[in-house]
Structure 1
Amino acid sequence: MHRSLSICLALILATLSIATTGFAAEGGTLRFELSGASRDRLQLSLSRIVSANRTSGSSFEVRELAGFDRAALQGRDGTPVGFTLVREAGRLDCSGRTANRRATGSCRFTGDPAFAAYLVASGIRQPTEGEWIDLTMVGAKRSLVDALKRGRYTMPTPNTLVGMSALGVSPDYIAAMAAAGYRPRKTEDFLPLKALDVSPAYLGSLKRVGYDRVPVEEVIQLRALGITADFIADYQRHGFRDLSVSRLVQLKALGIRPQELVRQTSGRRVSLVTEQDAPVIMSALLP
């Protein structure tokens, strides 16, 4: 894989890991910090005070934090506050005080035993307490697991289910991708696909320029570098109709336009990088 693409994908996966990894250690005090993200949303961050502090955060609509008065953040410091977040996986009951237009305090987490039992019955292992909290924070639902079962996908780990829920992988998204003739081989493939906003419309645009049923790894490469159907069509108009995905990735990463490929026939040589980081002359790109 081209080095710049490797860096790009590494950053995506690192961001995804940060967004979906919660409390690895058990025990400790569960603390919260709440601030205004926008007029209608609040940013809630949870941290577990252990030997290494771990933090997980999400944005919520005001109405989702039952019992919280948003006006309290604008009031005097020291105002008591409390709220409850109830999701399918469990609930958080939190209380604290305001200071500097924020609220801080402690929370008590109560996991829903029926939800955990449902995961186990579906072939997903029992979540740890930290994973259970994360499943609650991202609003994981039974309907997503049901959609995976209907599609006969391998059941995810609790942490993968957290990631899918956080990214917005929904039953509708899974069904739409299948209707477009695209069924990832691995459940985990939905993570980078959704993170990169690979949609049935995007896949359809690739199909119209001759790139149908592209393997998921190659779709990820194309989308990560912003390669569109128009980009491909531009090369096709200049006579380059059978460029592989790896060649398209190289061309995009190095900013080489189709006109430069045409001029190559006059004898100018331009070096590229193969997947093995070996130099390749421009003529290797020609059909």
Structure 2
Amino acid sequence: MTSRLSPWLTLAVMFLALPVLAADAQRTGTWGASVKEQQLYLSLHPKDRPDSQHGFSAPLSDFQGLSTADGSSAPFKLVREAGTFDFEGRFNDGQGVGTWRFSPDASFPKKLADLGIPKPDADEQFLLACVNAGLQRVQGLAAVGQKVTTVDELVHVGIFNVTPEYVRAMAAEGYPKLTIQQLVSSRIHNVTPERIQGFAALGFKGLPMDTLMSMSIHGVTPDFIREMRGLGFPDLSADNLISMRIHGVTPAFVKEMRGLGYTNATADDFVSMRIHGIDSIFVRSMSKQRK
């Protein structure tokens, strides 16, 4: 079964797949950008590695001096706690290209160390600026009981947008003691408060976090549960639903097989069919052989 990467996971892949660059090489480069829904989606290409990229987005309102009007060539900047990005270039039809320069904040490493996090090196400081994770994020998470202790943890909460608001929302849904690693994983796999509420409305309340993540990983959504109930499966457990998704038992598959005469098949029967390669093509070929 194929699955689409979430925006945050896509962003993580872009960052984590990159080679480690020398600190000096990360200070300048070229950029491309597009505007969508009041966000500027940036792709930064370091000068000495033009085939590599650092991709992130930020609200248009976060930039100083930015104009995305056709023909605009005004310089603009993005100030982060870890440092400042200065941009020059031009926009046309919602697309922009140009050059960038990153100036790290000299006081940032010590301020981070004062909060109990080892000082980041130049590469890590640049990355923290890209994902907008710094002192405020560390302090905000600490205020809701989440202590960030390493630069890697801070990078991941930045990439996957683990915010104090997200921690509070998950706690309100019955998950008050998640670790930083669990919160990052739940963000990666799109375990949102809204999805938890959707499951609860269908009778799936108080599910273990591992089960919630497995459901999300394999595509068990409230809509999928409703579709299966509409096909006559009202009492499927979370494990049943996960198994159906793992083995490709979709509403379309159920309808197709019922149309071929399997009207009394149970959920387990449909899973077994998939495991053993029994589908409409197989059934029709067997029917032809009997004739």
Q: 1:107 to 1:119 in 2, by over 3 A?
A: same
Alpha-carbon distance in structure 2 between the residues aligned to 1:251 and 1:132: 44
Question: What is the distance in 1 between the residues matched to 2:196 and 2:157?
Answer: 20
How far does residue 162 in structure 1 lie from its aligned partner after superposition? 3.0
State whether structure 2 residue 113 is matched by structure 1 residue 120.
yes
Q: 1:189/1:8 Cα in 2 relative to 1: closer, same or farther (>3 Å)?
A: farther
Secondary structure at the residue paired with 2:64?
coil
Structure 2: how far apart are the matches of 1:136 and 1:83?
16
Shift of residue 42, structure 1, vs aligned partner: 3.5
Alpha-carbon distance in 2 for matches of 1:84, 1:229: 42
Shift of 1:93: 3.0
Give the whole-Å Cα distance in 1 for the aligned partners of 2:188 and 2:102. 31
1:109 aligns with 103
**% identical equivalent positions:** 22
Name which of 243, 260, 281 aligns with 1:250: 243
2:265 is matched with 264
How many pairs were matched up? Answer: 262
1:154, 1:85 → 2: CA distance?
A: 27
Q: Do 1:67 and 1:82's aligned partners in 2 also have CA atoms closer than 8 Å?
A: yes
Residue 48 of structure 1 contacts residue 54 of structure 1 at CA under 8 Å; is this kept in 2?
yes
TM-score by length of 2: 0.69
Q: CA deviation at 1:269?
A: 7.1
Query: In structure 2, what is the Cα distance between the partners aligned to 1:219 and 1:269?
Result: 23
Helix, strand or coil at the partner of 2:85: strand
Match of 2:10 among 15, 32, 50: 15
Match of 2:76 among 80, 83, 105: 83
Query: Over residues 222-247 of structure 1, what are the superposed CA-to-partner deviations in whole Å (9 max), with x where a residue is unaligned?
Result: 1234423454465499576362x332
Q: Are 2:205 and 1:223 equivalent residues in the alignment?
A: no
CA 1:133–1:272: 2 relative to 1, 3 Å: farther
Provide the alpha-carbon RMSD of the alignment: 3.9
Which residue number corresponds to residue 193 of structure 2?
Answer: 200
Measure how far apart 1:40 and its partner are: 4.8
- The structure whose RCO (Cα within 8 Å, separation 6+) is larger is 1
TM-score (norm 1): 0.70
Residue 175 of structure 1: how far off its partner (Å): 0.7
The 5 Å alignment of 1:45-64 reads 45-50=43-48, 53-64=51-62
Q: Would you say the 8 A contact 2:134–2:154 is kept in 1?
A: no
Q: Which of 153, 159, 162 is the aligned partner of 1:169?
A: 162
Residue 227 and residue 268 in structure 1: after superposition, are their counterparts in 2 closer, same or farther (change >3 A)? closer
